[in-house]
C-alpha cells in the first residue's frame, strides 16, 4: 500500500497521525538519534525532512540513519529544490497555492521533475497554504508570498477547494515554523468540512493542548518541529494525545 492510500484510508477512518519535522540544520547526529528514539516510542507516523534553509550537508546522513534504524517513513518537505533526496520514501510536492509566486506554484517543480521522475520517491502532490500567524515567518519571507489572513476563513476554504479541484491529493495549512499562533481552529473546521482530501496542519503546535485542538477541528496529520528541537520530550506528550 502506498503512503498516500494509507493516509487516505486512515483519514476516512478518523485515525489521526503525527509527523516529526526534522530541520537538518538544527540537529547533530546524537541529538537526531535521541529525537528519533523518542519519536519511535511515542508512535510518530512520519519523519518529515525540510526547512526554509539548508546550510549543512547532513541531511543525507540523517535520513540514512533513520532508514537504517527505524521503520518510520521519511517524507521530504523541501524548502527548495536543493533539499531533494532519493534516500527518502516520499516527497510532499508542494504547490504554494495561498501565494501568487509562479516559481512556488509551478516553476521549481519544472526544474525538479526529471530528478523526481528518475527517483523512487512516492510523489504526494500537496496544496500548501500559509496562514498568517502573528509575526513574519521564515517561510513567508523566503517564498516571497503573503499568507492568508488568519481571520479570513472563507479565503482559506476557497483556496483549499480550488487545490482539491486541481487534483492535489493533500492540503497542508501551515502557520510557519515557530509560529506565534497556530492555524485557527475555526479555519481548520471550515476547510475540513469543505474538502475531502487528507488535511495536514503545522506551525506553532508546541503543546498537547494545541495538538488536540487542531486534531479535534479536523486535522488528519499534525506536524511538530520547533517545539521538539527545544525539548524532545514534547514528542511523548503529543504522541499520547494522538494515540
Ligand atoms: C513548519 O509546519 C511546520 O513548516 C512545523 O512547524 O516548527 O512550528 O512545529 P513548527
Over residues 98-124, the mean pLDDT reads 97
Q: Could you report the per-residue pLDDT of 211-234, keeping only the tens digit for each?
A: 999 999 999 999 999 999 888 889
Tell me what pLDDT residue 53 has.
Answer: 82
Over residues 56-63, the mean pLDDT reads 92
Q: Could you report the per-residue pLDDT of 111-121, keeping only the tens digit for each?
A: 999 999 999 99
Residue 129 Cα to ligand 1 middle (Å): 13
Given the CA of residue 178, which atom of ligand 1 is nearest to it? Answer: 8
In the block, residue with C-alpha cell 508512535: 43
Pocket-forming residues, ligand 1, beta carbon under 6 Å? 21, 174, 177-179, 202-205, 223-227
**Which domains, ranges and CATH numbers included, belong to the chain?**
3-242 (3.20.20.390)
Q: What is the mean pLDDT of the chain?
A: 96
- Pocket perturbation via mutation, ligand 1, pick of 78, 226, 237 by most ligand atoms within 8 A of CB: 226
Q: Tell me the whole-structure pTM to 2 decimals.
A: 0.98
Tell me what pLDDT residue 232 has.
Answer: 87
- Pocket perturbation via mutation, ligand 1, pick of 203, 206, 221, 231 by most ligand atoms within 8 A of CB: 203
Amino acid at each position: 500500500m502506498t503512503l498516500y492510500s494509507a493516509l487516505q484510508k486512515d483519514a476516512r477512518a478518523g485515525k489521526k497521525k503525527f509527523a516529526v519535522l526534522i530541520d537538518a540544520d538544527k540537529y547533530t547526529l546524537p541529538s537526531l538519534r535521541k529525537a528519533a528514539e523518542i519519536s519511535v516510542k511515542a508512535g510518530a507516523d512520519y519523519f518529515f525532512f525540510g526547512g526554509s534553509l539548508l546550510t549543512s550537508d547532513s541531511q543525507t546522513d540523517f535520513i540514512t540513519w533513520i532508514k537504517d534504524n527505524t521503520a518510520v517513513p521519511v517524507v521530504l518537505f523541501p524548502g527548495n529544490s536543493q533539499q531533494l533526496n532519493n534516500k527518502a520514501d516520499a516527497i510532499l510536492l508542494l504547490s504554494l497555492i495561498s501565494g501568487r509566486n509562479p516559481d512556488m506554484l509551478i516553476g521549481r517543480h519544472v526544474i525538479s521533475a526529471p530528478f523526481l521522475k528518475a527517483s523512487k520517491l512516492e510523489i504526494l502532490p500537496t496544496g500548501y497554504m500559509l496562514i498568517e500567524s502573528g509575526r513574519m515567518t521564515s517561510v513567508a519571507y523566503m517564498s516571497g508570498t503573503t499568507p492568508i489572513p488568519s481571520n479570513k476563513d472563507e479565503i482559506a476554504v476557497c483556496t483549499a477547494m480550488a487545490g482539491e479541484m486541481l487534483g492535489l491529493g493533500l492540503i497542508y495549512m501551515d502557520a510557519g515554523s515557530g509560529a506565534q499562533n497556530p492555524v485557527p481552529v475555526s479555519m481548520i473546521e471550515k476547510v475540513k468540512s469543505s474538502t475531502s482530501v487528507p488535511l495536514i496542519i503545522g506551525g506553532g503546535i508546541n503543546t498537547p493542548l494545541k495538538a488536540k485542538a487542531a486534531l479535534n477541528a479536523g486535522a488528519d496529520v499534525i506536524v511538530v518541529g520547533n517545539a521538539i528541537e527545544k525539548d524532545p520530550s514534547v514528542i511523548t506528550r503529543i504522541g499520547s494525545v494522538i494515540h
